[in-house]
Structure 1
Amino acid sequence: MRFTVTTWNINSVRLRIDSVLRFLDAAKPDVLCLQETKCPDDAFPLKALRGSGYENVAFAGQKGYNGVAILSRFPLITRCVMPFCERADARHISAVLGPEAGKAAGIALHDFYVPAGGDIPDRTLNPKFAHKLDFLAELRAWGGKRVAGPAILVGDLNVAPLEHDVWSHKQLLDVVSHTPVETEALETLRGEADWIDTARLLTPEPEKIYTWWSYRSPDWQAANKGRRLDHAWVSPDLKDTVRKVEVFRDARGWEKPSDHAPVTLTLEL
């Protein structure tokens, strides 16, 4: 059974609902996990998304920022939202695929939006950076305690952990998202919980992989100064099922785009 799950920081689901529907029509993933929906629950565009064939939707949002959602062709059971850093920030949502999903049944899906961390990589000078590091520390503690069984973790983790996950390792070492304290934190929490980084499983370094290109670039395609901030991890029992990880770069060039591109993981279950 071919199973696909896409992660996409949409940067406002209402502003970019046409792009979401366009992507769903073009790519038809089994599951789409969104981050930064920037939408309170009572304004979430549920009708439009269900009309596109995704009847099973779980979401957690708030006005103006953050927000996560899971859209699925399969039933979703045991939905959960975890708070981090004692904040109800709508930065995590999870669900388990129901038995009607066939071979995919029982897989736990986790959708995360890790804090960006502001511009100054110093926790004493920048509360946003301190929050990011604290969030990663709590994610590390959770990752080591997660329930055994098949699981997928996706989302905008806001860290480009490896040298070739950024356009210039040397120039970005003191830039938030690629500083050593962040990259070490992310790789440590991933390794301790035995999560498999599927993109690098299939495409090892030194090949470059980017999922995000800044709005600040006047010609993002020509400059191609990207970072790999969006990730798809699987538990060890799913490692042998990983077949493809694809960055849908075209979406970055659509009208009024998100600065992130969708990333689709394909498993053969």
Structure 2
Amino acid sequence: MTVTICTWNINSVRLREPIVLDLLRQEAPDILCLQETKSPVDKIPVEGFAALGYTHMVARGQKGYNGVAILSRLPIEDAGQIDFCNKGDARHVAARMADGTLIHNLYIPAGGDEPDREVNEKFGHKLDFLTELRDRFREGRPQRAILVGDLNIAPREDDVWSHKQLLKVVSHTPIEVEHLGNAQEAGGWVDVTRQDIPEGQLYSWWSYRAKDWDAADRGRRLDHVWATPDLASGAGGSRILRAARGWEKPSDHVPVFASFTL
């Protein structure tokens, strides 16, 4: 069985319900993982999703902030969540498929503007979150698992529009890249997107601040699809739906896809 998974920071699922429905109609992934839903779970507009066949959902939410949801056409069961840094934030949820495959949906903190934990508590939170993620993978190395989400870090030089100019900008600083790499290594995770598309600039986020995001093209690859080696060997079809950044009332992130043979 081939399963296509899509991850997308939607920046409010209620505000952007129309483009979520457009994505489901046009692309029809088997599973859609959303971040920054900014909604209590009982306020997520599930009726429209169910009408398109997405009758299964596992989610965690809070009013106006954070929030993660996994929508699926295939049966899934709730596999819990991790309360990283004991803050009570809705930043992680997991779902288990019928064959036992575990899907993690993560929204890692953005980290604020100043890459210095001594003056910016948000940056310290981000680093602590990544450290805890690393430690959990060290305690129990995952198997038959997929991890997706807005990880809020563009790790490679070709994951940003200008490596040199962004070295001191949150999301591409060496300390963030190191922390993310440590978490990835601890879990043995394979970056599926870069396994499929090993060369060239790749972006999944463009700032709202740009008057013409497309022409300026100052993007970053903040959204990721990882898999354990047992599943990464059967992965393919990775792509980033750049066109979604130009949809009506868009998110500043776009959907990222990958397919897996399960």
Tell me the secondary structure at the aligned position of residue 18 of structure 1. Answer: helix
Which residue identity lines up with residue 215 of structure 1 in the other structure?
Y
2:49 alignment partner in structure 1: 49
1:131 counterpart (125, 129, 146): 125
2:197 alignment partner in structure 1: 203
Percent of matched pairs sharing the same residue:
54
Tell me the secondary structure at the aligned position of residue 32 of structure 1. Answer: strand
User: CA separation of 1:247/1:201 partners in 2, compared to 1, >3 Å: closer, same or farther?
Assistant: same
CA distance in 1, matches of 2:34, 2:176: 23
1:12 alignment partner in structure 2: 12
CA distance in 2, matches of 1:47, 1:58: 14
Which residue identity lines up with residue 123 of structure 1 in the other structure?
R
Which blocks of at least 5 consecutive residues in structure 1 are unaligned?
A: 99-104
Which residue identity lines up with residue 9 of structure 2 in the other structure?
N
CA distance in 2, matches of 1:35, 1:109: 14
Query: After superposition, what is the alpha-carbon deviation per residue over 1:92-129, rounded to whole angstroms, capped at 9, x for unaligned?
Result: 0001002xxxxxx2110000000000000000000111
Tell me the secondary structure at the aligned position of residue 189 of structure 1. Answer: helix
1:162 counterpart (156, 160, 178): 156
CA distance in 1, matches of 2:141, 2:46: 30
CA distance in 1, matches of 2:44, 2:76: 18
CA distance in 2, matches of 1:121, 1:84: 20
| 1:213 and 2:206 are equivalent in the alignment | yes
CA distance in 2, matches of 1:208, 1:65: 30
Task: Please give the TM-score of this superposition, normalised by the length of structure 2.
Answer: 0.97
Tell me the secondary structure at the aligned position of residue 125 of structure 1. Answer: coil
2:134 alignment partner in structure 1: 140
2:185 counterpart (180, 191, 194): 191
Compute the displacement of 1:244 (Å): 1.6
Tell me the secondary structure at the aligned position of residue 80 of structure 1. Answer: coil
1:244 counterpart (237, 243, 260): 237
| 1:228 and 2:218 are equivalent in the alignment | no
Query: After superposition, what is the alpha-carbon deviation per residue over 1:201-242, rounded to whole angstroms, capped at 9, x for unaligned?
Result: 12224x111000000010010111100000000001012101
